[in-house]
């Protein structure tokens, strides 16, 4: 089954509705900037790279049918970029993509509105296409760290559904299959929104990849049973010192991996590195609705009035990370000097 997370089709953005998976494969047309904001906010589209690509198209949609001067269109765009930036706080790819779209507008010096609009659409398409290449390269690098027959545990969904193809953490699984190498993937279900169950196990299973779904509290057991030789996760933001924000539960997995001497790799497109954020404590962590914890499948599993804490992400300190793997290469024992060197 070929799933298109994000597609620019004719003159509109089409998103796969990830909130309906795995039970229904359905697509939603996005024709206004408000719809794009809502799609990111409600997680119809989610995963750091996919959020970035969607926001880039959203920026174009904001002025797609604008009628007026280029100066007025630039003013409108600026307003809508600020609006889109409020859709979710943690994945830095959102702000990175919006900034890139803003730069294109800023550098545009002509007064032809159609040309201005075309430049913005082109930039969104370039961001989209770059994502595919980045993910494939991350997969190639990660594959050099793995051996045939190994077990790999992943958390949340840093898969094709979280990007535009291959995924980041899952990219080596797709490439291994292409190359006839066999890997055994363990997917944490990933409470409270179950991205591991609803998305990772779904996409890997349908791709014919050997995947075993486990509940989050089984990770220690499969590690203790020598079933896992590597952990690979994605990330939403890497701070300058190498601390990494990713889906809630990642920190626990990293601590377990350290305990069992299992390498812990973070698949990271360079747009996910935020050198302006000195350490992980500076990364804004999204807190989501208490209903995600209270009613994970629609029915209450606890008293509706009970207090709930629902941070959507956690921060794994750099010292627990064996390597950060970007499209440009592998950064062993990440620190500020090594991360800054990536951009030189
Ligand atoms: O809340 P989500 O589903 O957007 O969180 C997704 C993750 O935490 C992913 O691991 C991360 O964005 C990397 S996706 C390649």
* Residue 118 pLDDT exceeds 80: yes
* Cis ω before 128 (30° cut-off from 0): no
Mean pLDDT of 200-214: 98
Q: Pick the catalytic residue: 131, 188, 216, 236?
A: 236
Cα–Cα separations (whole angstroms), residue 114 to 72, 79, 100, 110: 13, 19, 19, 10
Cβ 234 vs Cβ 326: under 8 Å: no
- Torsion angle in degrees (nearest 10) through CA of 103, 106, 107, 112: 120
Q: Would you say the pTM of this structure is higher than 0.80?
A: yes
Q: Which atom of ligand 1 is nearest to the CA of 195?
A: 3
Rounded Cα distance between 142 and 329, Å, is 9
- pLDDT tens, 220-233? 999 999 999 999 99
Contact in structure between 229 and 172 (CB atoms under 8 Å): no
**Ligand 1 center to residue 91 CA distance, Å?**
8
Q: Which residues line ligand 1 (CB under 6 A)?
A: 46-49, 91, 156, 158, 162-163, 167-168, 195, 234-236, 246-247, 312
Give pLDDT tens digits for 2-52: 899 999 999 999 999 999 999 999 999 999 999 999 999 999 999 999 999
191 is annotated as contributing to ligand binding: no
Distances (CA, A) of 253 to 86, 167, 197, 249, 259: 29, 20, 16, 7, 10
Percent of the chain surpassing pLDDT 90:
99
> Mean of the per-residue pLDDT values for the chain?
98
- pLDDT at position 112 is 98
149: nearest Cα among 120, 114, 180: 180
88 annotated to a ligand binding site:
yes
Q: What is the pLDDT of residue 2?
A: 80
* 83 contacts 33 by C-beta, under 8 angstroms: yes
Helix 92-107 and helix 70-84: axis angle, to 10°?
Answer: 170
| pLDDT above 80: residue 331 | yes
Cα 33 to ligand 1 centre (Å): 22
Does pLDDT of 1 surpass 80?
no
Please choose, from the candidates 185, 217, 191, the residue with its C-alpha nearest in 3D space to the C-alpha of residue 203.
185
Per-residue pLDDT at 181 exceeds 80: yes
Among this protein's residues, is 236 annotated catalytic?
yes
State which ligand 1 atom lies nearest to the alpha carbon of 46.
4
ipTM exceeding the 0.90 mark = yes
Dihedrals phi, psi of 276, to nearest 5 degrees: -80, -10
């Amino acid at each position: 089954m070929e799933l298109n997370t994000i597609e620019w089709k004719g003159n509109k953005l089409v998103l796969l509705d990830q909130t309906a998976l795995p039970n229904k494969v359905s697509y939603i047309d996005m024709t206004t900037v408000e719809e794009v904001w809502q799609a990111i906010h409600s997680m119809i589209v989610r995963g750091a790279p996919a959020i970035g690509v969607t926001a880039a198209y959203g920026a174009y949609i904001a002025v797609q049918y604008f009628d007026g001067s280029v100066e007025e269109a630039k003013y409108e765009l600026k307003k809508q970029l600020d609006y889109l930036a409020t859709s979710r706080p943690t994945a830095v790819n959102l702000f990175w993509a919006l900034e890139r779209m803003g730069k294109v507008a800023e550098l545009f010096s002509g007064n032809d509105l159609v040309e201005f609009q075309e430049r913005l659409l082109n930039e969104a398409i370039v961001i989209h296409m770059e994502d595919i290449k980045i993910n494939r390269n991350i997969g190639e690098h990660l594959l050099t760290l793995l051996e045939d027959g190994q077990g790999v545990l992943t958390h949340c969904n840093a898969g094709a559904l979280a990007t535009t193809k291959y995924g980041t953490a899952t990219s080596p699984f797709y490439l291994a299959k292409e190359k006839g190498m066999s890997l055994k993937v363990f997917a944490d279900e990933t409470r409270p929104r179950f991205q591991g169950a609803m998305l990772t196990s779904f996409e890997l299973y349908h791709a014919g990849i050997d995947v075993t779904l486990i509940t989050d509290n089984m990770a220690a057991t499969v590690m203790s049973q020598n079933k896992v030789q590597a952990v690979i996760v994605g990330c939403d933001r890497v701070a300058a010192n190498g601390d990494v924000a990713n889906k809630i539960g990642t920190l626990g997995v990293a601590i377990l991996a350290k305990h069992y001497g299992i390498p812990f790799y973070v698949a990271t497109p360079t747009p996910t590195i935020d050198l302006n954020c000195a350490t992980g404590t500076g990364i804004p962590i999204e807190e989501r609705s208490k209903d995600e914890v209270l009613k994970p499948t629609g029915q209450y599993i606890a008293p509706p009035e009970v207090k709930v804490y629902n941070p959507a992400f956690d921060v794994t300190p750099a010292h627990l990370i064996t390597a950060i793997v970007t499209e440009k290469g592998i950064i062993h024992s990440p620190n500020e000097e090594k991360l800054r060197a990536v951009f030189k």
